[in-house]
Chains A and B, each alone.
Chain A
């Protein structure tokens, strides 16, 4: 069994987790830049974080045979101060040259503010300028439906093909609109605040398996870096064919990510 976890924050996880993921069949991960649980005090803090994502973390993953890819951005939670955010964004172009950087992410909104939206638009423009894939974070809880719509409008105002954009953390009330507008949809398997493996399987049964993937978004919160293999078990338990299980946990991530020439899996 092989799978890809296309959204997991390994900087917040222990090396034991890499070992457990490898034992469960993980062959590759992609790690979007995100909020560290506290606001960083300077752009230099992001510079060091980007070095960690592009240099140190790939080597830690490789110890267990896992290929490590990443996405760079300033996350929406720290993007509410536009001047600060622009200092951080100015660091990104140099890092886009690194061999494991697939695109811009996870950009999006947090509290659906005008300041966050300005920085989202500027990072969409950055992706447009450098022809990068985009990974989108959508807000949590009561802010998700409204924020997802604002984000999709901002993306649709750019010239980027929606097939090169994945909108993550979809739930039952947002997945149909995301797919209908041509974007890819990510389901985050998170114990309390997002989807369970059971609900994600329901979504696949109701909305199909085209342009859909699953991820753990494992991070510093209560999360589970083995959520994707657990979803595979849930799908098998319901009698789904292995070809469908592989499609949503391996083949679909490969298809989307391979739009970046840097995403090459070692066979």
Chain B
């Protein structure tokens, strides 16, 4: 049960990574979201329990700072830049 649907999801991730490889880089730096995704994949392979929780923790803002206003900020991106700790 569930193998075929997760086989399909796994192929989606594999194809997504292939697509990134084929794309022309717009910067010499690795996109922080791509770096976070690669770290999340490592979590899934480490054989330890609570993978879903640990992936979510990895993708979470670990900063304690609270900005005054949201003015000028963008919507949630789903991962954090290295200074926030999550995907470092």
Which residues of A come within 8 Å of B, CB atoms?
80, 110-117, 139-146, 150, 171-173, 198-199, 202, 237
Contact = CB atoms under 8 A, between A and B. Distances in A.
Given A113-B69, A114-B68, A115-B68, A142 B86 contact: yes
Given A80-B69, A150-B66, 14 more contacts: A111-B67, A113-B67, A113-B68, A114-B69, A142-B59, A142-B60, A145-B56, A145-B57, A146-B64, A171-B56, A172-B56, A173-B57, A198-B2, A199-B52
A114 B65 CA distance: 10
A190 to B, nearest CB: 14
Contacts of A202: 52
Given A113-B68, A113-B70, A143-B76, A173 B53 contact: yes
Interface stretch (B14-22, B23-31, B37-45, B77-85): B77-85
Interface residues of B, number: 27
A116 B69 CA distance: 8
B74 to A, nearest CB: 9
A116 B84 CA distance: 20
B7 interface: no
A141 B68 CA distance: 20
Nearest to A77: B70
B48 interface: no
A100 B61 CA distance: 37
Nearest to A139: B76
A173 B56 contact: yes
Contacts of A115: 68-70
B70 A142 contact: no
Contacts of B67: 111-114
A146 B68 CA distance: 15
A111 B78 contact: no
